[in-house]
Structure 1
Amino acid sequence: MEATDEENALLLRVHPTPQVVASEYASDGSVDINKQPALKHRTGNWRACYPVLGVGFSEGMVFSAIATNLVTYLTTVLHESKVDAAKNISAWSGVCFLTPLLGAFVADSYLGRYWTIVVVLPVYIVAMLVLIASASLPVLFQSDVHPAVVYLGLYLAAIASGGVKPCISAFGADQFDSNDPAELVKKGSFFNWYFFLTTTSSLLSGTVIVWLQDNVGWAVSYVIPTVLMLICFPAFLAGSRVYRFREMGVSPLVSLLQVVVAAVRKWNAKLPDDSSLLYEQASSPCTTEASHKNKHTNQFRFFDKAAIVPPGNESTVQTSPWRLCTVTQVEELKMLLLTLPTWASFVIFYAVTSQMQSTMIEQGMLMDNHVGSFAIPPASMPIIGVLSFLIWVAAYETVLAPLARRFTGNEKGFSQWQRLAIGQALSILTMALAALVETRRLAIAEASGLRHREVPVPMSILWQGPVFFVHGAAEVFGAIGMTEFFYDQAPATMKSLCAAFGQLAVASGSYLNTAVLSVVALATTRGGATGWISDNLNEGHLDYFFWMMAALSLLNLALFVRYSMRHTDRQRKQDLDLS
């Protein structure tokens, strides 16, 4: 009995043929809001990206409005000491860049990117309302709960940020079919616009919002980005019917844990001499592509035990993944472990970055911030770093990389190791310049009789410009280089997880900075001494602290170069063995 036209249409919609999929449906497995195969002409593409970009822009505005001038708020409104403010900012920043790892896990394993964004954006709005209340209600200023209310708002924002940051750009990229050449080009354009808008949000917060905070009021400066988010959130929800969604698989983090647990359970098991006896599937469930498998290597051999097939259990179909893993899963863990030394080297790098939003601003607060009749807010100085970043990105692509290509023969101009090393070297230069500026500032304070007075010294704040400019260059070589490194070195199934590792490096750098500040404060205030970072920086020696950070960064660079040389030699030998 032949099917009717209506039945055929229904069958095509539920089980589309390959020809229909190629012409009408996204070929990457995307579905629409109703969990049906996503039609290209009704879902995704730029029509779906505009509200996504709006959320990204508003989140950047909100986050920057909080973070850019936070040191001023803590020292002038909450009356915290310089050391306490710097430590609290580092601790808060650490949470901000640690929570994306949790956000990525929740999105990949439970909620999906869309629903994670939908859940955390109201939390973001509540956090801003708490901060607005803390800055505008006089009853709170005279209460002991004022600091508690402020930190409640700050940490709610940190949690919400961790849900948005790892999801919003990836969700925008999901709107383009990577198997469609035309849409693949548009995906690259999306990332360019996303970067442009998030950078623009930082510029606006560092100029307009900071000016409002210093000259109008903190509440007003928080209301503006909050209203923007209140507009963008409903717009994001309104676009739900045109979004494309990716169905969730096994979380990469769960896959890693399965390897560790399975290997530990077989602690006393003996590895076979022939690695081909280790378990593998023709179509591994731990990969996003059925054809993707990783070859066995001899590094970290303990974890190979996770792929040992138990005697008498050759039929592995029903075996728990927490007891038996594939070689591909094991090799993915090994690849991740090999990136850890590079990741660790950037913890010091981001500890230096933490100074740009804490001690450097505190230094600027005791410098002459007037250029003619215009007063530059100290918290706006990091904008020089943002502009430097944009300049060096353009220079890298158009001048530096082509020039380096002539000498290195490398298609990218610099190898990944060279780019990362240059970034770390520029980080050392950043701290050295900051130390020289502070040495000069203290000398002027001494000559002007201001050593024991907490007032700005007659030295222009523009002397901080080279510090921020060099740090912007360091970010181009180091931070972008690290992102590229993790993307290239990461297993195919763990690109997103390794991208979150970059955020984890930022968090770890912030926490390291907090620990260093605590140790320095404890060690330099013994016996009633003023300390390097005193409440009155004119009496302290912030220059010593900057020199110490430069020395730590130099040691870090030396260890990084040594590791990179060993890694290059090991990779060369491995390539020879494979050939």
Structure 2
Amino acid sequence: MGIISTSNSQPDDVSEIERVLVDGETVSGAVDYKGRPAIRSASGYWRSASFIIGVEVTERLCYYGIQSNLINYLTERLHQSTATAAKNVNVWVGTASLLPLFGAFFADSYLGRYRTIILASFLYILGLGLLALSASGMLPSTHEFQTIIFFISLYLVALGQAGHKPCTQAFGADQFDENHPKESQERSSFFNWWYFTLCAFCSLTLWVLNYIQDNLSWVLGFGIPCLLMIFGLIIFLLGTKTYRFTINGDENEKKKKKNPFLRIARVFLAAIRNWKRSSPSDIAIKEKTCGTLPHQSSEQFKFLNKALFVTNDSKQNEANCNLIEVEEAKAVLRLLPIWATSLVYGLASAQVPTFFTKQGLTMDRNILLGFQIPPASLQFIIPCAIILFTPFYDFIFVPLARSITNKPFGITMLQRIGIGMFISIITLAIAALIEMRRLKEAKEALLMSVWWLIPQYFLFGIADVFTIVGLQEFFYDQVPNELRSMGVAMYLSVLGVGSLLSSFMIGVIEEVSGKDGGKSWFDDDINEAHIDYFYWLLSGLSLMAFVVYICFAKSYIYGKKGITLE
């Protein structure tokens, strides 16, 4: 998947051998843009990864340039209530984070990561261009028409992210050979520095974009991201000749593995079809004839082992499953409890571009020479925290943890995710305490300094270093090789479902707390609202989910490079 130039004719064997002898060692399972075996010294590694990081930086600048200040655009320009705007932001963020599951499906099954990134970039550019147009005075002046165009543009951007987000990181990680000792170790660092680079570029740019949107022009504030996306696509295309494209076996094997999603679904269907056919002893005999199963994973989800039974019916012959396919299905099934218990982190993260931003709007934002900080720009504290903490994590925390645990990566991926989840619980509690103080000072006609919000933003940045990067690496590493775009999409879906859950909770709580003439927790006058109650509720839910997460994490059986939690 993803090869740019292929030919039906076989390449000249002599010239190919000469090329390998001159250029050096080839990379197993990878080809270059012409479909030839990839030369290690001339392809992949950090050189290729930097082009991919380049396009991802511009994409993140565009996405966060919209997301960070979207609630203010909805309330100020489209005149929506705070609760409605917060729900719309959460629904859009949730949709934009869930659509990558479909983008990953098409990339892994049909288009390949390279082509999907290019197609998604064009969708992004179209959406951003229309977004800038909708904010201008060039469209018919009816409010309803402008709103419709605005939301169409917004969801075109979400479609762009659907193809972009799951493929860029997976394609970047593909540039490191997991079978090569040095490159495999560098790939683990790649996930850390990927996130570090995105945050380093996003932090300052977010400040500038939010200032332009609040004080100069929304047209310019949406138009600049459009130009950035065009520039990012050019950067990505410039690296084409250096990329490694992964392949899977010979042509016959590829045909068998054409659609990994259907292959996994076939296992579940076969297990259901054979549900009453076998006794446990029969299954054990069949397992032995099929080959040696991994010592632990075969003990989990043993009902799927029934898919191994071969039918003599010629019509159903193609539905027969082999051992590798059953183990792939088990690997995907093992991820679901971890995914489900991680959703509370996405629920907590959804508050950053909504209620965190609204809090800042009512506080004293004056700094030097009367300059006021745009409330959405406070989100730059999160990438700043990541920039500061990532080197500490890579160069101090991991070596120290390694010396204590004797594990190659210091701590396991699930331990890393869990630490970030715990930090997010503390962060929400701190946010609730700060909001309680802000409400108290507001009743006394005092303006609380916006700098009081720094702790909750900064701690979320540290939590991201653990949980977000941990989820990225965990899902990429633990899914079957052919589903790695889907692995990246699974981490995004944690944020997406979390945002949708947040929107649902806001709707329910607004209805319940505001009935019978009572004040809603999300009253338009934030000084009369009770966002602090909402933060306490989220903190409690996160704590309960964290306890359940620990139970699943302790029993999780790793595949590939993972290490058990005990």
Q: TM-score, normalised by structure 2?
A: 0.86
- Correspondence 1:252 to 2:248: no
For 2:197 and 2:211, how far apart are their aligned partners in 1?
20
For 2:479 and 2:343, how far apart are their aligned partners in 1?
19
Matches within 5 A, 1:415-564: 415-448=412-445, 458-487=447-476, 489-491=478-480, 494-564=483-553
Q: Which residue of 1 aligns with 2:92?
A: 92
1:527-547 superposed Cα distances (whole Å, 9 cap, x missing partner): 121200111111111111111
Give secondary structure in 1 for the equivalent of 2:526. coil
Structure 1: runs of 5+ lacking an equivalent: 1-7, 284-291, 449-456, 569-574
1:99-150 superposed Cα distances (whole Å, 9 cap, x missing partner): 2221111111101111112222111111011101011125455431111111
For 2:262 and 2:22, how far apart are their aligned partners in 1?
33
For 1:34 and 1:493, how far apart are their aligned partners in 2?
21
After TM superposition, give the deviation of residue 433 of structure 1 in Å: 1.0
Q: Which residue of 2 aligns with 1:215?
A: 215
Give secondary structure in 1 for the equivalent of 2:30. coil
Q: Which residue of 1 aligns with 2:354?
A: 358
For 1:483 and 1:255, how far apart are their aligned partners in 2?
24
Matches within 5 A, 1:253-402: 253-271=261-279, 273-278=281-286, 294=294, 297-310=298-311, 312=312, 320-321=317-318, 323-372=319-368, 373-402=370-399
Structure 2: runs of 5+ lacking an equivalent: 1-9, 249-253, 558-563
- Correspondence 1:116 to 2:116: yes
Q: Which residue of 2 aligns with 1:454?
A: none
Q: Which moved more, 1:158-167 or 1:45-54?
A: 45-54
Give secondary structure in 2 for the equivalent of 1:535. coil
- The two structures, once aligned, show a CA RMSD in angstroms of 3.2
After TM superposition, give the deviation of residue 27 of structure 1 in Å: 2.8
Give secondary structure in 1 for the equivalent of 2:432. helix
Q: Which residue of 2 aligns with 1:287?
A: none
Give secondary structure in 2 for the equivalent of 1:27. strand
Matches within 5 A, 1:187-206: 194-206=194-206
1:539-564 superposed Cα distances (whole Å, 9 cap, x missing partner): 11111111111111121122223444
After TM superposition, give the deviation of residue 497 of structure 1 in Å: 2.9
Task: Confirm or deny: 8 A CA contact 2:429 2:535 kept in the other structure.
Answer: yes
For 1:392 and 1:536, how far apart are their aligned partners in 2?
36
For 1:234 and 1:360, how far apart are their aligned partners in 2?
35
- Correspondence 1:12 to 2:14: yes
Task: Confirm or deny: 8 A CA contact 2:343 2:497 kept in the other structure.
Answer: yes
For 1:237 and 1:221, how far apart are their aligned partners in 2?
26
- Report the structure number with the largest CA radius of gyration: 1
For 2:152 and 2:281, how far apart are their aligned partners in 1?
57
Task: Confirm or deny: 8 A CA contact 1:345 1:556 kept in the other structure.
Answer: yes
Q: Which moved more, 1:465-474 or 1:198-207?
A: 198-207
For 1:540 and 1:465, how far apart are their aligned partners in 2?
21
After TM superposition, give the deviation of residue 418 of structure 1 in Å: 4.0
Cα separation, partners in 2 of 1:33 and 1:478, compared to 1, 3 Å? closer
Q: Which residue of 1 aligns with 2:560?
A: none
For 2:411 and 2:54, how far apart are their aligned partners in 1?
35
Cα separation, partners in 2 of 1:21 and 1:101, compared to 1, 3 Å? farther
Q: Which moved more, 1:471-480 or 1:135-144?
A: 135-144
Q: Which residue of 1 aligns with 2:251?
A: none
Q: Which amino acid is 2:274 matched to?
A: K
Q: Which amino acid is 1:137 matched to?
A: G
For 1:176 and 1:544, how far apart are their aligned partners in 2?
46
For 1:394 and 1:271, how far apart are their aligned partners in 2?
54
Q: Which moved more, 1:151-160 or 1:250-259?
A: 250-259
Task: Confirm or deny: 8 A CA contact 2:200 2:383 kept in the other structure.
Answer: no
1:18-60 superposed Cα distances (whole Å, 9 cap, x missing partner): x947955633233344434445676556665554333222212
Cα separation, partners in 2 of 1:178 and 1:409, compared to 1, 3 Å? closer
For 1:377 and 1:475, how far apart are their aligned partners in 2?
23
